[in-house]
A and B are shown apart, each in its own frame.
Chain A
Amino acid sequence: MENKLLEIINTVLLNRGNEELKDLTKNTQLRNDIGFDSLDLAELTVRIEAEFGIDIFEDGIVLTVGDIISKITAI
């Protein structure tokens, strides 16, 4: 699941013309570390929902990769 998440995050980065990430940690911050803006986060949530069937931003703020993993594993 972490690999798939890395692939999705890298798709968002590559399509924006940014460098790919080699790995992720649970503490990696979506905005501060990866540099995602609101459009990137909106795309990320749609792509994650298509893959894992969960809207990660539906009920609250998601700041880190760990927050996403918690939401996905909670289903």
Chain B
Amino acid sequence: MPDIFYVDTLNGLRISYSQLIDDLNKIKSFNPYCHQQDYYSIFKSLLISLLIDEPIYLLDSDLSQAEIQHVIETDKIDTAYIIEVSIDKICDQTELYSRINKVKNWQVYLCTSGTTGLPKMISHNFNSITRMVKRSSKHSQDIWGLAYNPTHIAGIQVFFQAFLNSNALVRLFNLSNDVIIKSIINEKLSHISATPTYYRLLFPINKIIPGVRRITSGGEKLDLITTQKLKDVFINATFMNVYASTEAGSVLASENDIFTIENEHIGLFKILNQELYISPELMGKSSSFNLKEDWFATGDLVEVISEKPFCFRFVSRKNEIINVGGYNVNPHEVEEILRSIETIKDARVYPKKSSVLDNIVCADIVSSDKSLTIPEIYKILRSRLQEYKIPRIISYVETIQLTRTGKQNRS
């Protein structure tokens, strides 16, 4: 297995573990407020913070000064908090891992969008951030695609999954589709983890990619059409859905859209008015959590499939349900129907305020073939959706708005 730590085709980087260790040995200062664009620098800062057992604050590179001030109450992050570091020379990978395994006080602080839209900080310790990391010789040959922002929880989890198994990590986030597909094929990726929106935007792929063994999806509900399209391309891959949040980290995994709570974890989850609540035992730390009698209200609506064993599937985000004159419309359902129309590549369904009813449903659609007219789309929708669920305004757009995490922006 070649010695590769990180590959970034866009910036022409191919960093080996030996070079990583050399670079870490040269570091003499550390800024706990990591506000950098370059992914390799972010990884180095993360590892240095572990080596010196000091907290690190991961800030998105595109956070504005006002947003930074809001979350950490300072605007002088570039210079004011830099500390000198003097780490004992790391000789090899074994020593690197052994030192990282000894962390006691380390915390990583991450931004979450929060219910008001302003970012808030949430911290995780090493155990909670690596809760779902599988570390064994079985994974020694894995090659991971990084399709998440590296300052977000999913990106950090992919980083640790790859790093703790000495795997190569290949950048797939924020690249053009051509570069992404080339990177997956040329770097012989075996594992990719991304949001359903990320996968949808990759299509059409027009190739079969047999080398990928595992496709993981998380952060949003994965629809059946996208799953099938992925299966047609990644013919040898097994599929995994992960339920994770910045607040709780990764908490559940399933091979389909139904999540089963194992008997030993039954007390850690409950469902109230269709909403999933998580026990504080599974949570990171923050003063901004929406806790109800100590339970964390996830804002995720679920449908219980069976009580014994306790199984459920995700239906929607609570705040995404669109109220149309008293009728509830699940935007995911409508998007799935829109995407089932052959020429429509992606869709975003969102509410628009109306004084007649509370809201009307609107949709933006992406298609490379605009020969299908809007009235023709309506004709199809009328045969597949109840009247109140049909978007009243449908617009062709070039791209769908995404959040910093790469999920659909529904605001």
Contacts and interface: CB of A to CB of B under 8 A. Distances in A.
A19 interface: no
A8 to B, nearest CB: 11
A46 B392 contact: yes
Interface in A27-61: 38-39, 41-43, 45-47, 55, 57-58
Interface residues of B, number: 19
A34 B53 CA distance: 71
Contact of B375 (A15, A38, A41, A47): A15
A45 B378 contact: no
A41 B360 CA distance: 10
Interface stretch (B21-29, B295-303, B348-356): B348-356
B378 A17 contact: yes
B360 A39 contact: yes
A16 B375 CA distance: 8
A14 interface: yes
B203 interface: no
Contacts of A43: 354, 360, 392-393
Contacts of B354: 42-43, 45-46, 57
Interface centre among B352, B356, B378 (most CB of A within 10 A): B356
Nearest to B375: A14
A42 B393 contact: no
A15 B355 contact: no
B78 to A, nearest CB: 43
B379 interface: yes
B347 interface: no
Interface of B: 324-325, 352-357, 360, 374-375, 378-379, 382, 387-388, 392-394
Given A17-B378, A43-B393, 18 more contacts: A15-B374, A17-B375, A38-B325, A38-B357, A39-B325, A39-B360, A39-B387, A39-B388, A42-B324, A42-B354, A42-B356, A42-B357, A42-B392, A43-B360, A45-B356, A46-B392, A57-B355, A58-B355
Interface of A: 14-17, 38-39, 41-43, 45-47, 55, 57-58
28 contacts: A14-B375, A15-B374, A15-B375, A15-B392, A16-B378, A17-B378, A38-B325, A38-B357, A39-B360, A39-B387, A39-B392, A41-B356, A42-B324, A42-B325, A42-B354, A42-B356, A42-B357, A42-B360, A43-B360, A45-B354, A45-B355, A46-B353, A46-B354, A46-B360, A46-B392, A47-B393, A55-B355, A57-B355
